Structure 1
Amino acid sequence: MTDRSERGQLRAELAHWRGAIAQLADLDSVAAPEAWAQLEDYLRLRLRDRLLGSIRALDAEAAVLAASLEAGPPPEEVRVALLRIRQRYLAVEATVEFYGDAVQQRTTPRLGSILRGLDTIAVDAMDALLRPLGMESPPALTYPDKGLGAAVLRAGIRLWDRGGVSPAAAIKITRHNLAHPTAIMHETTHQVAHLCGWNAELGRSLAATVAPRSASLADLWRSWASEIAADVGAFVLSGWSPVPALANVVDGPTSAVHRIRPDDPHPPAWLRVMLNVELCRMWFGRGPWDDLGEAWQSRHDPTGLDDPDAQVATSSRSVLPAIAEACTRRPYRAFGGRPISELADPARVSPVALAELSRASGDSLLTSSFLARRDSLRILAVLTAEQPLDPAAATARTARLHDWLARLAPMPLPRAA
């Protein structure tokens, strides 16, 4: 191929990618204006500015290459730079598509209003633990998706496009648990623990608690610290309410609920559920968690199973009370020398306290904007604490919850960008 032909081909290829970059900049084609309008003003502007910043930087890089191409460098150099721009484009596209897909879920007004309410819940949950530490909570963007478990893309982490950090805590709520969205407390505590540095400190505490039984067992519990931290955060913020939803998600065949996966930060499902049951017993006494614990003990009893992972469950069972104590009552530097239970007192979300909140509030529990802003996390716990035994009751409970969430967001809807 002649130099002239090669340069012509490079111009055509570069024009293609510059055109793709220009299309990417039309964020209203990624998510509809009415979906963007369902975001709180600050979050919407911050998110769009972050995405457009990456796109502009990529466009500028392509413009520099276009000018360079006309200056006559060797075609081989231009092609290397063009392939680099193509890879950068794919990374920026992945970032834009991730957030665009999350925002686009809000096109339906009803779902959009529910998700705005969950955004508010997420920030309230982070505030409950970060404000006493003098730390600011990042904005939250919740979105529904398929699957069993929730997830979070933390605010402040470096994204695929290398254009900066994530501008919000992007929290996936599974569609089946939109009726019981307490996993949001677990995911927001991941964000909190990252910001205040609790994970490593809790890991050392867990290892020290378990070490008298076994050094290898202590190492395992240390490796599970980040997920245990998130479960503990969900407990102190919501009490019993997240535990049934957790059990629904992590249940499976007995071999699976005892399985220890290398490099997986999640404890085996049986130990995870039993630790949550132990937290409820320690703080609340007897209650419905005892029935759940008995069911899981009967269903997945590790005693006598000829399996090393099940033997870990058996060895850990007697240490769970000490672990629950270490998680909730031991002071940590991450919390200013206080236990997490001083930042968010589990007694405020005990069944007795929630029943008193419901009784004292009466009908205003679900209609008062003052109560919603003052006590959103406890009201969510009230609305999700019971486990309906038939589909009709479950449907009615979901309707009450969604009606309340749709009214929760404290600010009026902004206009579309």
Structure 2
Amino acid sequence: MRRAADTRFLANEALSLLSRLQTVRSFMLSTPMVPAAAVSGAAQRAINEHLARVAFDLRDQLLGFVGWLKEPESQQHSAARTQARFVLLKMRFNNLLDQVDIFADVLSQRGEHGTGIWMAGLDVLAEDALCLPGRYYDPPPLICFLERGHGAAIRRARTRLPGGDQNPVGVIQIPRERMVGSGIASSLIHEVGHQGSELLELTTSIRAEIDKHLEGLEPAGQVVWKLYQRWLNEILSDCWAVAHLGIAATYGLMSVVSLPSYFVFRIGTDGPHPFPWIRVKISLMLGRQLFPHPQWDALDEQWEALYPPTELPADKQQLLGQLQAALPDFARLVLEHRPRALRGRRVREAFPVAERQPARLQSLFEQWQQQPAAREKSAPSLVFAVIGQAKADGRLTAEQEYELLTRLLTRWALNRARNHGAPPPPVAAPPLSSLLTDSGIHEPRTKH
């Protein structure tokens, strides 16, 4: 039997939680930003509807709990059991706050002068890189934000948020130190590749194909291919970047993994990431097979000049040699793979490879020098590929690249804001007074 004092305490705790729940408002009512810096309408709707759904569900559970406390049947439960039931609701509220903070980190940054608009431009780039020509899936909205640190990351759409709810949008974290240069596209589209590869289920299907390939190999060969299989998820994301950006993706990757030699050659065999030296080699091989051109061999020589493997211990040199020997066949297996999601097409055919060939990129750079308006009308990922190729060719300085990209990011953000108009109306929670009235329980009157 539960005491009346315990019931009053838990009822007031639940109502207090209900009061704090009303502070969870639509971001459209609380986050200042200029229209051009806003996330896409689809992303705004998805975030607002998701948070409203979680908040209304929690409100109903809290009201149900408060109503249950009044029922005679609830009096048969001990204070401990009733407290345990309330604590689950409190934990659910904290899960909701964690989710709010995830999106708040993104949206509050959109109020920064200049930065917010650039982020909106990167949203456009990310969504362009996710939308493959064949319409093989329904792409989720993507939103970007800057963070300190060296690497990028993604919280993929349709994965679990704190509390187990499904994430309505893909949230891509970009290193602030890479803004603004063509290398930012390499990091961004790598993270987009994580989302795209998952939507196509590429990791699962290619791992199964590697399993078949392993059956005909000697033990030494199996060791190498199992490493590639372990690293496959990250390799596919690098492939996504190379297929969209050409050599700009590999240059960007080299910038990210240019660390002291100890870390570049630190061979870990139990993690999802290839160690930096071989990761660049993988990117180079994917580039060779997608976009045949002498520039890949030149960049390969440069990478080995920066990080020569000749001074490594003999066992490490042997492993590097085995990995490189298997690399052409591995890259070919990935690019020639025909997953069910691509409806009979090979992986290489899913990407705009023909228009990203080096000669084509160089030709577009020449045309755009004469007709800049054509550049602004082109797909953002193509623009970054052209600019990255021009920079690799020595035809664009770092200063020119910065000026051009900041202007283009702003233009893409403005175009999206104009094309899609005003954001959708917010989903608002009911006022606190109505929730308290509906509950049927009020605070006890003070006795004098």
With the length of structure 2 as denominator, give the TM-score of the two structures: 0.82
Is 1:177 the counterpart of 2:184 in the alignment?
A: no
Q: 2-side partners of 1:341 and 1:31: how far apart?
A: 41
Aligned twin of 1:32: 32
Confirm or deny: 8 A CA contact 2:231 2:274 kept in the other structure.
yes
Larger Rg: 2
Cα deviation, 1:63-98, whole Å, max 9, x if unaligned, reads 111222233533222211111111111111111110
Instruction: Specify the alignment match of 1:138 in structure 2.
Output: 140
Q: Is the 8 A contact 1:54 1:161 kept in 2?
A: no
Q: Helix, strand or coil for the counterpart of 2:104?
A: helix
* Distance change >3 Å, CA 37–CA 45, structure 1 → 2: farther
Residues 71-150 of structure 1: pairs in structure 2 closer than 5 A: 71=71, 72-73=74-75, 74-128=78-132, 131-150=133-152
SS of equivalent residue, structure 1 residue 338: coil
> In the alignment, what sits opposite 1:22?
22
Task: Describe the shift of the 1:306–1:362 C-alpha distance in structure 2 as closer, same or farther (beyond 3 A).
Answer: closer
Of residues 137, 141, 162 in structure 1, which corresponds to 2:164?
162
Query: Secondary structure in 1 aligned to 2:100?
Result: helix
Cα distance in 2, alignment partners of residues 90 and 264 from structure 1: 31
Structure 1 window deviating more from structure 2 (240-249 vs 206-215): it is 206-215
What do residues 139-178 of structure 1 show as CA deviations (whole Å, max 9, x unaligned)? 1111111111111111111221334x21112111111222
Counterpart of 2:156, as a letter, is: R
Residue 258 to residue 209, structure 1, CA distance change in 2 (3 Å): farther
Tell me the secondary structure at the aligned position of residue 22 of structure 2. helix
Matches of 2:211 and 2:43, distance apart in 1: 39
Per mean C-alpha deviation after superposition, the further-off stretch among 209-218 and 381-390 is 381-390
The CA distance in 1 between the partners of 2:392 and 2:292, in whole Å, is 21
Q: 2:280 aligns with which of 269, 273, 295?
A: 273
Distance 1:360 1:126 in 2: 26
Q: Deviations over 1:170-200 (max 9, x none)?
A: 1111112222321222111211111111112
Shift of 1:262: 5.0
Deviation at 1:393, TM superposition (A): 4.3
Q: CA deviation at 1:330?
A: 4.3
What is the alpha-carbon distance in structure 1 between the residues aligned to residue 176 and residue 116 of structure 2?
A: 14
Work out the CA distance in 1 between the residues paired with 2:310 and 2:44: 53
Letter in 2 for 1:286: P
Shift of 1:205: 4.1
Q: Which residue identity lines up with residue 176 of structure 1 in the other structure?
A: E
Task: Please list every run of 5 or more consecutive structure 2 residues that lacks an aligned counterpart in the other structure.
Answer: 427-448
Q: Contact 2:117–2:410 at 8 Å: present in 1 too?
A: yes
Q: 1:162 to 1:176 in 2, by over 3 A?
A: same
Using the alignment, how far apart are the partners of 1:206 and 1:400 within structure 2? 43
Cα distance in 1 for partners of 2:334, 2:404 equals: 33
Question: Matches of 1:395 and 1:79 in 2, distance apart?
Answer: 62
Normalised to the residue count of structure 1, the TM-score between the two structures is 0.88
Task: Give, in whole Å, the separation in 2 of the partners of 1:389 and 1:383.
Answer: 10
1:216-231 map, 5 Å: 216-231=223-238
1:10 corresponds to which residue?
10
Q: Is the 8 A contact 2:136 2:342 kept in 1?
A: no
**Secondary structure of the corresponding residue to residue 171 of structure 1:** strand
Match of 2:55 in 1: 55
Aligned to 1:404: 408
What do residues 97-137 of structure 1 show as CA deviations (whole Å, max 9, x unaligned)? 10111111111352222222211111111112xx4154221
Counterpart-to-counterpart distance in 2, 1:33 and 1:52: 21
Distance 1:280 1:254, change over 3 A: same
CA-CA distance at 1:261 after TM superposition: 3.4
- The aligned counterpart of 2:301 is 294
Amino acid at match of 2:227: L
Corresponding residue of 2:436: none
Evaluate the alpha carbon distance shift between residue 375 and residue 33 of structure 1 in structure 2; reply closer, same or farther with a 3 A threshold: closer
- Higher alpha-carbon deviation: 188-197 or 323-332: 323-332
* Cα distance change, pair 28–9 in 1 and its aligned pair in 2 (3 A): farther
* Counterparts of 2:87 and 2:292, CA distance in 1: 60
Q: How does 1:250-399 map to 2 (within 5 A)?
A: 250-261=257-268, 263-282=270-289, 283-287=291-295, 289-303=296-310, 305-306=312-313, 311-365=318-372, 367-368=373-374, 372-387=376-391, 393-399=397-403
Deviation at 1:311, TM superposition (A): 4.1
Alpha-carbon separation, structure 2, partners of 1:96 and 1:133: 31
Does the aligned pair in 1 maintain the 2:122–2:144 contact within 8 Å?
yes
% of aligned pairs identical? 22
Structure 1 residue 399: Cα displacement: 2.3
Give the gaps of 5 or more residues in structure 1.
Answer: none
